[in-house]
Amino acid sequence: MESNRFGLYPVTGGEPLLIPGISATDWPLRFNSDGTALFVSEAGAPFAAGLRIVRLDLATGRREPILEITPPDSKGLRWQDVDITSNGGSYLYSYFRFLSELDIIDGLR
């Protein structure tokens, strides 16, 4: 797992501050209301059945699970978007569903 894929870049310029504890499979969503943490999505892959949102402490890299989202029917699911409010009290998500059919025909010549 690659860490420090994301950094905090000062608006006034200078070197980025690497975020401890962030991994290559994390996707940053939003800073918390006081700017001390970052909510990230831990979706393992774009075709994963569910995803987890954690609060990542920017000073220590400590991860605190906030919620897990698993739609009732995960067949053909592909995540499109997820977001959370800065206080972690509300969230939204959307996804696509890719379904197809396979027809098997016997006896053709």
pLDDT at position 76 is 72
Asked if residue 31 lies in contact with residue 38, where contact means CB atoms within 8 angstroms, the answer is yes
Amino acid at 88: G
What are the sequence ranges of the domains in the chain?
7-97
Q: What is the pTM of this model?
A: 0.74
pLDDT digits (tens, 9 = 90+) for 3-61: 456 888 999 999 988 889 998 888 899 999 999 999 998 865 544 667 889 999 999 99
The secondary structure element, H or E, covering residue 67 is: strand 63-69
In the Cβ-directed half-sphere of 60, how many Cα atoms lie within 13 Å? 5
Bridge-based pairing of strands 17-18 and 91-97 is unpaired
In the Cβ-directed half-sphere of 47, how many Cα atoms lie within 13 Å? 4
**Secondary structure percentages of the chain, helix, strand, coil, to 5:** 0, 40, 60
Q: Which residue has the tokens 């053709």?
A: 108
